[in-house]
């Protein structure tokens, strides 16, 4: 497959550089070009479109982009999602909106200004976000389109209309004040249903002979961490906007949590929360949890099951954001800046973690300073008391 793409790319370059007058290309054989373009992946197709006018017009063909989308995001193959994308302006736009990832450099501002409290001069409307704006926002406007890959093979696609909470609509509902969370998987240990996503040695997992060994060398963990990719596209149907809230590759994780057999892998992005929360930025945390279900003596039965796939938003201090603010943040996030430069995206995520841990350390230092102060004043009071008594 890779060689094939390479071949077509080479051919494109030759055509683009050749002396054939640009205008006569379509008359040569536009079917041939269509066939070439059809086989390209998104970035190559986009750059081919820039090479000349003829490619540019052929590459506007929606079916080409539909092809690209369905290979990047198998979930877009579903009929309901296809018509959703068409109603939002088509596959070409969808790809352009969702392939680049969200970058957010406002974290650095946070560091300087160090907002911790709501500014005094904020009105209530600002504190809660604009009410009018809010009333026009409903959980059912949102759609999640989620795809998981392992070693470049699609292993799971999920679509969630709304936020998956019954009766979440209605402005005064409990949903708005509770911590926001979207769960795409309802997995229980005793379930034996067919929908469970598993990975095994045949998918490329290393054979694990015992959890003892795994605890020491972490082979399975490393393989999962390096091989997994997540895309979580959030769509706002009313505003006809979409963005990818995942980082493709994991940002971090925890081995053996909460039990010995669990692996928690974290993806996500940093979203702006300007005028919504005092921290100005929040982290969108996407959690994928796997449980080791089977290891045998020889290791060939090694298997892991996907047991959790969820989204929640956390502010700089690690507190969960409630439903009301989360919807406002998600709405804004769908129109914020994106980048195709992956290292820039990662840089902004790492900057967030750095600022967050610095804040935590400072807070701990302040608290221990406060503790010391309390103890000192306690001792002083004690001594003064005895001094007076004697």
Ligand X SMILES: *[C@@H]1O[C@H](CO)[C@@H](O)[C@H](O)[C@H]1NC(C)=O
Q: CA quadruple 183, 189, 191, 193: dihedral positive or negative? A: positive
Find the part of the chain contacting ligand X (CB under 6 A) among 48-56, 138-146, 292-300, 357-365: 357-365
| CB closer to ligand X out of 93 and 105 | 105
DSSP 44: H
Which of 223, 111, 233, 214 minimizes the C-alpha distance to 160?
233
Which of 120, 127, 61, 122 minimizes the C-alpha distance to 91?
61
Shortest distance (Å) from residue 367 CB to ligand X: 8
- Between CA 73 and CA 232 the distance in angstroms is 10
The string over 60-85, giving b where at least 16 C-beta atoms fall within 10 Å of a residue's C-beta and e elsewhere, is eeeebbbbbbbebbbbbeeeebeebb
Could you say whether residue 344 binds ligand X (CB under 6 A)?
yes
| CB closer to ligand X out of 186 and 357 | 357
Could you say whether residue 347 binds ligand X (CB under 6 A)?
yes
Find the part of the chain contacting ligand X (CB under 6 A) among 181-189, 222-230, 252-260, 361-369: 361-369
Other Cβ atoms less than 10 A from the Cβ of 334: the count is 20
Per-residue binding string, ligand X, 89-128, x by CB under 6 A, is: ----------------------------------------
Could you say whether residue 341 binds ligand X (CB under 6 A)?
yes
| CB closer to ligand X out of 308 and 347 | 347
Is 235 within 8 Å of 182 (Cβ atoms)? no
Q: CA quadruple 1, 97, 128, 176: dihedral positive or negative? A: negative
Could you say which of 362, 368, 376, 384 contacts ligand X (CB under 6 A)? 362
Shortest distance (Å) from residue 344 CB to ligand X: 4
- Between CA 109 and CA 105 the distance in angstroms is 8
Shortest distance (Å) from residue 108 CB to ligand X: 13
Is 284 within 8 Å of 333 (Cβ atoms)? yes
| CB closer to ligand X out of 133 and 361 | 361
Could you say whether residue 366 binds ligand X (CB under 6 A)?
yes
Is 208 within 8 Å of 214 (Cβ atoms)? yes
| CB closer to ligand X out of 153 and 340 | 340
Could you say which of 343, 386, 387, 388 contacts ligand X (CB under 6 A)? 343
| CB closer to ligand X out of 133 and 317 | 317
DSSP 322: B
> Which residues contribute to the site for ligand X (CB under 6 A)?
341, 343-344, 347, 359, 362-363, 366
């Amino acid at each position: 497959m890779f060689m094939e793409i390479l071949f077509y790319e080479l051919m494109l370059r030759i055509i683009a550089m050749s002396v054939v007058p640009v205008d006569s290309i379509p008359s040569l054989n536009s079917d041939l070009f269509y066939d070439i373009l059809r086989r390209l992946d998104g970035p190559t197709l986009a750059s081919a479109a820039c090479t000349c006018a003829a490619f540019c017009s052929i590459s506007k063909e929606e079916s080409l982009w539909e092809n690209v989308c369905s290979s990047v995001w198998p979930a877009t193959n579903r009929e309901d999602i296809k018509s959703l994308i068409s109603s939002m302006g088509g596959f070409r736009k969808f790809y352009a909106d969702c392939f680049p990832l969200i970058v957010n450099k406002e974290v650095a501002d946070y560091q300087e200004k160090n907002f911790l409290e709501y500014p005094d001069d904020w009105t209530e409307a600002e504190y809660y976000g604009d009410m009018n704006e809010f009333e026009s926002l409903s959980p059912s406007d949102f759609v999640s389109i989620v795809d998981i890959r392992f070693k470049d093979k699609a292993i799971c696609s999920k679509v969630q209309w709304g936020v998956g909470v019954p009766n979440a609509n209605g402005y005064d509902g409990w949903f708005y004040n509770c911590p926001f969370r979207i769960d795409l998987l309802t997995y229980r240990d005793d379930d034996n249903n067919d929908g469970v996503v598993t990975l095994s040695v045949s998918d490329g997992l290393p054979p694990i002979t015992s959890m003892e060994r795994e605890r020491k060398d972490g082979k399975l963990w490393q393989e999962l961490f390096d091989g997994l990719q997540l895309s979580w596209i959030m769509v706002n149907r009313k505003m006809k906007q979409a963005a990818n809230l995942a980082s493709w590759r994991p940002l971090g994780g925890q081995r053996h949590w909460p039990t010995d057999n669990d692996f928690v892998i974290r993806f996500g992005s940093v979203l702006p929360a300007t005028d919504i929360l005092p921290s100005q930025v929040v982290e969108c945390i996407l959690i994928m949890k796997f449980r080791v279900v089977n290891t045998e003596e020889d290791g060939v039965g090694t298997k892991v099951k996907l047991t959790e796939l969820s989204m929640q938003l956390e502010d700089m201090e690690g507190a969960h954001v409630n439903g009301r603010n989360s919807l406002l943040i998600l709405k804004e996030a769908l129109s914020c800046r994106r980048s195709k430069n992956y290292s820039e995206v990662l840089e902004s995520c790492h900057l967030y973690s750095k600022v967050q841990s610095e804040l935590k350390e400072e807070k701990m230092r302040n608290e221990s300073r406060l503790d010391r102060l309390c103890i000192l004043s306690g001792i002083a009071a004690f001594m003064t008391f005895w001094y007076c008594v004697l």
